[in-house]
Chain A
Amino acid sequence: MSARGLVSAPARVKRGEVFEVKTLVAHPMETGFRPGFDGRLIPRDIVTRMAVSLDGAELFAMEMSPAIAANPYVAFPMTLEKGGVLTVEWRGDNGFVAEARIAIAVA
């Protein structure tokens, strides 16, 4: 499966300044509650967790349920004391893994 994740954040921020991180990942988020053409339920296939870390230290994480819409979009505020590489990792059913990175400098 070609997995595509995106992360958007300012390239440079002031120390302690609140900025928004926006993330998006391409995924069908099949709930497991819908019947297919044969009348049987389509098995669940969702992203279960997304985690955001800076140089390995986890800063934000979100547990997802089937109630999250397809192609999960998540935005949240963040402050940083030091710069680094922000890594977003998505994990889900059937071994789904996607990753996106962005470098942020702190002035």
Chain B
Amino acid sequence: MTARRQFLAGALALACVPSAARATPETVAEAVRQLVAGRQVRDGALTIDVPPLVENGNAVPLTVAAPAGLSVVALHVFTEKNPQPHVLHARFAAPTPAARVATRVKLADSQTVLALAELPDGTFLRARADVIVTLAACIEDPT
């Protein structure tokens, strides 16, 4: 990377995050801790469908799907390097088999997306997906 590119990347990063407002793995862990509140979490067959390489972080298609044989009451998504850790909390009124939620999210940087599925017995399934973002969400012109 040339010095000019490094300067530009740095300047954009500064413009992007004017204050210290940025989630970290610690703030994500804290947000997850508040959600889970001491209940059991295990890594599970939760599917996060997101492109591994994203050109534009302003609208990234994201689908979180629970395994077909499992009923789910809620799906939660967190990110590590967006300005704040929460992305979405989707709740089904009744336990739903093959639950999934599809939406479009903003990603401020290359980072790990964390998804949790809440089961009817109160326990959680967890999955992670790594995403590389070449154009971050907050660089666009404020028009």
| Shortest distance between the CB of A57 and any CB in chain B (Å) | 7
> With A and B bound together, what is the CA distance between A66 and B85 in angstroms?
10
Kindly report which residue of chain B lies nearest to residue A29, judged by CB atoms: B106
B9 at the interface (CB under 8 A from A): no
Q: Indicate with 1 or 0, residue by residue over B75-114, a CB within 8 angstroms of chain A CB atoms.
A: 0000100111011111111101111111111110000000
- Interface positions, chain A 14-68, Cβ under 8 Å from B, are 18, 29, 31, 33-37, 41-42, 57-68
Which of the 9-residue segments A3-11, A72-80, A85-93, A97-105 touches chain B? A72-80
Q: Can you report 15 A-B residue pairs in the complex whose CB atoms are below 8 A from each other?
A: A31-B83, A33-B17, A33-B138, A59-B93, A62-B101, A63-B88, A63-B91, A67-B79, A67-B88, A67-B105, A68-B103, A69-B103, A74-B90, A74-B101, A76-B92
Contact A60 B93 (CB under 8 A): yes
Contact B138 A34 (CB under 8 A): yes
Main secondary structure of the interface of B (DSSP, over half): strand
B60 at the interface (CB under 8 A from A): yes
What interface size band does chain B fall in? 35 or more
Known interface pairs A31-B106, A33-B21, A35-B15; A77-B90 also in contact (CB < 8 Å): no
Contact A67 B86 (CB under 8 A): yes
Contact A37 B142 (CB under 8 A): yes
Known interface pairs A61-B90, A65-B84; A31-B138 also in contact (CB < 8 Å): yes
CB neighbours (8 Å) of B142 from chain A are 34-37, 42
> With A and B bound together, what is the CA distance between A27 and B88 in angstroms?
16
| Shortest distance between the CB of B95 and any CB in chain A (Å) | 11
Q: Which of B86, B92, B93, B104 contacts A69 (CB 8 A)?
A: B104
Kindly report which residue of chain B lies nearest to residue A65, judged by CB atoms: B86
Q: Which of B60, B90, B105 contacts A60 (CB 8 A)?
A: B90
User: A residues bordering B, Cβ < 8 Å?
Assistant: 18, 29, 31, 33-37, 41-42, 57-70, 72-79
CB neighbours (8 Å) of B93 from chain A are 57-61
> With A and B bound together, what is the CA distance between A4 and B26 in angstroms?
38
B58 at the interface (CB under 8 A from A): yes
B45 at the interface (CB under 8 A from A): no
CB neighbours (8 Å) of A64 from chain B are 88
B59 at the interface (CB under 8 A from A): yes
CB neighbours (8 Å) of A37 from chain B are 142
> With A and B bound together, what is the CA distance between A55 and B10 in angstroms?
52
